[in-house]
Amino acid sequence: MAVSKAPQPFLVESMRAADLDAVMEIERVSFHAPCAAQVFLEELVRDWAHVDVVRDLSTRSIVAFANYWLVADEIHLLNLATHPLARRAGNASRLLAHIADFGRRHDCRVVTLEVRRSNAAALRLYRRFAFRPVGVRPNYYAEDQEDAIVMLLELTP
């Protein structure tokens, strides 16, 4: 993936099938137990599922993605990752801001997610967005039985 160092214009847009390889590259380098490509392809055809990407417009590269569901008046964030070469540049924040706006436009009350207890970077990111911890799911992650922290963001109109 080509990543430019200078601040660049970016675009948050819906993932297309042609973006699968770029999204899978980010998934593979971001998680010990990455999802299969088929998971993303299935998300593209579910009415309630959304996968958004951040595209660096100077290189046309995809630098981050988020997968979330809109169910009734809640958004559930299932997956969020930024390519390691594009981290600490506000890309996950762009996606979270976009998701929160989407939620408000669809009269959602809350955004919820699960995050590993040990994932300090993600916990800090979510707290900055005013997510608060509301519960623990013990042994949530099948690969290593780590607990998940459940976090919730209340969306104000």
Binding interface with ligand COA (CB under 6 A):
30, 64, 80-82, 87-93, 115, 119, 121-122, 124-125, 128
Q: Are 75 and 108 in contact (CB under 8 A)?
A: yes
**Please, which residue, 1 or 47, has the CB nearer to ligand COA?**
1
| Closest CB to ligand COA among residues 111, 157 | 111
Which CB atom, from 110 or from 125, has the smaller least distance to ligand COA? 125
Q: Smallest distance from the beta carbon of 121 to ligand COA, in angstroms?
A: 3
- 113 touches 151 (CB < 8 A): yes
Alpha-carbon gap, residue 129 to 10, rounded angstroms: 20
Q: How far is CA 86 from CA 41, 56, 140, in A?
A: 24, 10, 28
Q: At its nearest, how many Å lie between ligand COA and the CB of residue 148? A: 9
CA angle, 63 as apex, 56 and 39 as ends, to 5°?
Answer: 130
Query: Least distance in Å: CB of 128 to ligand COA?
Result: 5
